[in-house]
Amino acid sequence: MSEMSPLSLAPTAPDPTLLQAWQQDIEIRDQLVKQLSEEMYRLMVAKPELFLQFYQARQEAKQVQLLTEETLQQLTELQQQALALGDQITFYQSQIEDRDQEIQQRDQEIQRLQGSLHEFNERNQMLEKVIQEMPEVYRQKFSQRLEQVKTKMESLQWENQRLQAQVRQLQNQTANTQRNGLNLDLPGIPGLRPGRLVPSLG
């Protein structure tokens, strides 16, 4: 690669024609600015109310811009609040759906319990009817049992009287034997205990 000569790196001189054109443009702009300033000054002196209106309009524009920015900020905040509110609504709707399902389950449970209660009421009525009829049955059974007990009591009383008669007879024989000085063997009586003449009913 060939080295560049020092002359190729030196800055090139501007074209005099371009410099002259730029200078003319600058002068023209300065003249226009000066003319506009003078014209505005004449207008301000001649019609100051226009500048006052312009100033007021500019201030109002600034206020409108500020209000617009505030309004946009408020709208942004409202949108955020609306999103948060939407999330809350979704959450509450989910809870309401869960409660509805729970209420439905409770209703089903209540219906089931009502059905069971109806069955229990029917059974209770049937049992009450049976209980009302049972005393007559018990009275009949008690009467039958009482007749059996009475029969057994009569039999025991007859047996007791018979045994008492035998005891009295033996006592008389014993007394006679003692008076005569003779020894007499008493016959054994089954089921007889000394000092107890009436047998147990138990």
pLDDT tens per residue, range 90-145: 888 888 888 888 888 887 888 888 887 788 778 778 877 776 776 677 767 777 88
The residue type at 48 = P
The full length of the chain comes to 202
Q: State the average pLDDT over residues 27-39.
A: 83
- Cα separation of 54 and 135, whole Å? 115
Cα–Cα distances in angstroms (integers) from residue 16 to residues 21, 23, 68, in the given order: 9, 11, 52
Position 178 scores a pLDDT of: 61
The residue type at 90 = T
CB 163 within 8 A of CB 197: yes
Position 201 scores a pLDDT of: 44
Instruction: Tell me 85's DSSP state.
Output: H
Q: State the average pLDDT over residues 143-159.
A: 83
Q: At what angle do helices 16-46 and 48-180 cross, to 10 degrees?
A: 80
Residue 171 banded pLDDT, cuts 50, 70, 90: confident
Position 68 scores a pLDDT of: 73
Strand partners, 193: 196
Position 14 scores a pLDDT of: 62
Q: Give the domain ranges of the chain.
A: 24-136
